Amino acid sequence: MALLVVSLPKNRYRPSMNRRTFLSTATVGASSLASLDARSEALLIQSITKHAVRRNRDGSGTTWFHPRACMVPGDKGGPPIALMTQQSIGGSDYFGPVHASESSDLGRTWSPPKGIPALGWHPVPGQDGLKAGVCDVVPQYHPQTGTVLALGHVVFYRGARYSSKEQLARYPVYAVRRKDGSWSERRILKWDDPRGDFIYTNNCGQRVVLPNGDILMSFTFGPESNHRMVAGVLCSFDGEHLKVKKVGPALENKHGRGLLEPSITQFRGRNFMTIRAEDGRGYNSVSDDGLNYAPKKSWCWEDGTPIGMSTTQQHWLTHSDGLFLVYTRKDKSNSGVVRWRSPLWVAAVDPEKRCLVRETERVVLPLVGDGVNEPDDVALMGNFHVTNASPDESWVTVGEWLPSRKARGDLLLAKIRWAAPNRLVR
């Protein structure tokens, strides 16, 4: 596994200065306290290092995509196991069967990817030659049952490419990894609501496991392709079956396909949602109960300047002492890159103003190449995931791909080292 230390702005954190000390030594008014708090939280990031888990820049192997990891407690007190789902990519939205790989040494080495039968390609009854695959899978450990819920959504293929004309109704599908390591069959998360007749899904979305074992998530949904909505969703899960219990009021944005790929997290007793959109913006919202969300707000800097985001997902990086967002955005260095999908950035979130603090922004995974004059040689990194791996470390995983270079690319892992323990991880 190759290692590259990413160049970062000078970190102002000192071992003798914790967050509380930093705040107490600053003289501020009440109106600026929230912004100062977010800046101090940025000092939590001690370092970021880039690792190549699997390589295929030369096209000699497999380009692995949608890499998403979760942490599973070790057997009989042994070290935790990182379980990563991933699948090959052969073109735009054309993905192979879902595989799983494991690491018992905090991501330094990984087992060879092994196919998950339930999340492979299955024939569609009554549709000769059409196969139902699975994509956008997110695995998450469920401590109340000791299982892993791998939730994605169905996608349909006929032949060696994705065709929008071949897509039937889209819906969430999942498989469960049991305590003994075996996988369940493929199951459907059912939601009998006409608003989801064309599509309803939690694809690529971060979820929250509640203390009683219920799961908070969000749906993007719509009766047709355009003007999709998002809403908070509460599900029950017993270790085998996932069921919708409640769906909250919808948020809307009637531009293009609408609101897509929502992710949620919990921070300081509230639920935060970040949302992909198709109007040159990304959006966020907040909720006390995870169902009733406030009106959406576009992502901007603390001075109100909008942040250009081109129809690409964002995800939360959540520490017990600070909330962060990982995202892509428009920049002078990536003006020629498709949807500005390189580099990946991280910045502290001001949770009261629901904005990003500009001076805290840094690169998680850098743009490699010339994003202005030779953008076809810049690998895209728009589909990624964030995992809290240990109290001292969080990960961003992404599958690069070069659309104009036969879908080549590496599977990358950025390790974010914390300056103070993340008490969300035990």
- Number of separate helices (H) and strands (E) present in the chain: 2, 29
Q: 315: burial class by Cβ within 10 Å (0-12, 13-18, 19+)?
A: buried
pLDDT lower than 50: segments of the chain = 1-33
Tokens of 255: 């531009």
Q: How far apart are CA 414 and CA 220, in angstroms?
A: 28
Q: What is the pLDDT of residues 186-233, one digit of tens each?
A: 999 999 999 999 999 999 999 999 999 999 999 999 999 999 999 999
Q: Based on C-alpha coordinates, what's the Rg of the chain?
A: 21
The confidence score (pLDDT) of residue 20 equals: 37
Are the beta carbons of 255 and 226 closer than 8 angstroms?
A: no
Query: Around 294, how many Cα atoms within 13 Å sit in the side-chain half-sphere?
Result: 16
4-7 long-range contacts (CB < 8 A, ≥24 apart) are: 4/49, 4/50, 4/51, 5/47, 5/49, 5/50, 6/48, 6/49, 6/50, 6/363, 6/364, 6/365, 6/366, 6/414, 7/363
The confidence score (pLDDT) of residue 16 equals: 33
Taken in order 64, 70, 75, 78, the sign of the CA dihedral is positive
Q: What is the pLDDT of residues 172-189, one digit of tens each?
A: 999 999 999 999 999 999
